[in-house]
Amino acid sequence: MTAFEHVPVLVDEVLEALSPVAGGTYADVTLGGGGHSRAILERSAPDGRLIGTDRDPAALRAAGAALREFGERVTLEKARIRDLREVLDELGIGHVDGVVADLGVSSAQLDQGERGFSLAKDGPIDMRMDPTEGETALEFIGRADADELADVIYQYGEERRSRRIARTLKYAYEEGNLETTADLRRAVHRATGPKRGRIDPSTRTFQALRIAVNEELSDLDAFLRAVPSVLRVGGVVAVISFHSLEDRMVKHTFRQSETLEAMTKKPVIASDEERERNPRSRSAKLRAARRVEESE
């Protein structure tokens, strides 16, 4: 297995939104390799505190090693983003000054073929962010009927050919020809035709299955609803999304909330320099909101 290495995106922009200060308490609910957390801890020195969570045990181990130098200023917990309020309650923390969430799959998860996220590296059809619990993407394909599978691919992958793809996947599964991500990719290609442009036609199906298996959108919805109870008045939440479904949820929540005030009308995107240096940042969109009094 390769080392868990993840290059964080929009770090400067996250710091500008959160404005970490000494003595503040902050939460990073998607630790990854600890990149955003490190930046927050450095900016909030000497005594700013960071509560970090992730559902991936490998990410927790990597972040623990990367942030060890900060000692007791860091507390790491295994949890989903929806669980932040419960984590803080267990730690006796009422409110925090800022929260960052970097959604989606990490570079490290994509780079490890055995995790099943990658189109480029063959591995089991797993796709679980926490490989210790829940059903795998292959188990989901086997359990769901063709209509449910098509609905998932259409809704979460925004894939117009979802019915054809779902029938092809079910047939491949039932024939015993669906065991690895390479098999999954080939099955999608049989339904859509081979890759013709820059984007592989199986990308949307992989995305849809990953979102479904990890319940990403329901987790995001629960996290966004809980944020006002987590932030002190004046505190900031910064959310980085990588596809339109997530971004729309964040945008609508910030617009409709009575206690969150959007800090930007449009999402912040990576600079040309960062996009060139880190291709993953090209689809990243950052939205931030500040906690306000209900009367405001």
What's the CATH number where 51 sits?
3.40.50.150
Is 246 found in the same domain as 194?
no
Confidence band for 194, pLDDT divided at 50, 70 and 90 = confident
Determine whether 97 is exposed, middle or buried from the number of CB atoms within 10 Å of its CB (0-12, 13-18, 19+): buried
Give per-residue pLDDT as tens, 212-240. Answer: 999 999 999 999 999 999 999 999 999 99
- C-alpha 105/C-alpha 274 separation (Å) is 19
Q: How confident is the model at residue 58 (pLDDT cuts 50, 70, 90)?
A: very high
pTM: predicted TM-score of the whole model, two decimal places: 0.94
Residue 256: what pLDDT? 95
State residue 105's pLDDT score: 84
- Outline where DSSP puts E strands in the chain: 25-28, 49-54, 74-78, 96-102, 231-241, 260-262, 285-291
158 and 235 belong to one structural domain: no
pLDDT at 1 over 60: no
> Which whole number is the average pLDDT over 144-153?
98
pLDDT category of residue 3 using cuts at 50, 70 and 90? low
Q: Are residues 64 and 90 in the same domain?
A: yes
Burial class of residue 16 (count of CB atoms within 10 Å of its CB; 0-12, 13-18, 19+)? middle
Rounded CA-CA distance 132/77 in Å is 15
Q: Compute the chain's Rg from CA coordinates.
A: 20
Does residue 93 fall inside a structural domain? yes
Residue 52 lies in a domain: yes
Question: Of the candidates 17, 15, 23, 79, which has an alpha carbon nearest to the alpha carbon of residue 49?
Answer: 23
Backbone angles phi, psi at 21, to 5 degrees: -135, 160
- Does 20 have pLDDT greater than 50? yes
Residues 203 and 135 in one domain: yes
CA distance to 109, 116, 122, 182, 260, per residue, from 112 (Å): 5, 8, 9, 14, 37
Full residue range of the structural domain in which residue 142 is found: 117-214
| Domain boundary, last residue among 164, 196, 214 | 214
Taking the chain, what is the end-to-end CA distance rounded to the nearest angstrom? Answer: 51
Distances (CA, A) of 216 to 19, 207, 245, 293: 27, 11, 10, 29
Whether 97 shows a pLDDT value over 80: the answer reads yes
Q: Which residues contact 218 (CB under 8 A, 6 or more apart)?
A: 82
Q: Which residues contact 76 (CB under 8 A, 6 or more apart)?
A: 31, 52, 53, 54, 60, 63, 64, 67
Same domain, 137 and 204: yes
Contact (CB, 8 A) for 223 and 84: yes
Quick check: is 5 in a domain?
Answer: no
Structural domains of the chain, count: 2
pLDDT of 5 over the 70 cut = no
Contacts for 195-200: CB closer than 8 Å, 24+ residues apart: 200/119
20 and 100 in a single domain? The answer is: yes
Asked which of 187, 214, 241 is the last residue of a domain, the reply is: 214
Same domain assignment for residues 95 and 135: no
Residues 210 and 129 in one domain: yes
4 found inside a domain: no
CA distance 29 to 100: 6
Q: Are residues 141 and 274 in the same domain?
A: no
The reply to whether 70 and 47 lie within a common domain is yes
* Token pair 């959310």: residue: 239
Show which of 174, 196, 214 is a domain's final residue: 214
Distance CA 263, CA 260 (A): 9
β-strand pairing of 231-241 with 96-102 = parallel
The Cα–Cα gap between 282 and 269 comes to 8
Same domain, yes or no: 95 and 233:
yes
Mean pLDDT of 66-84: 97
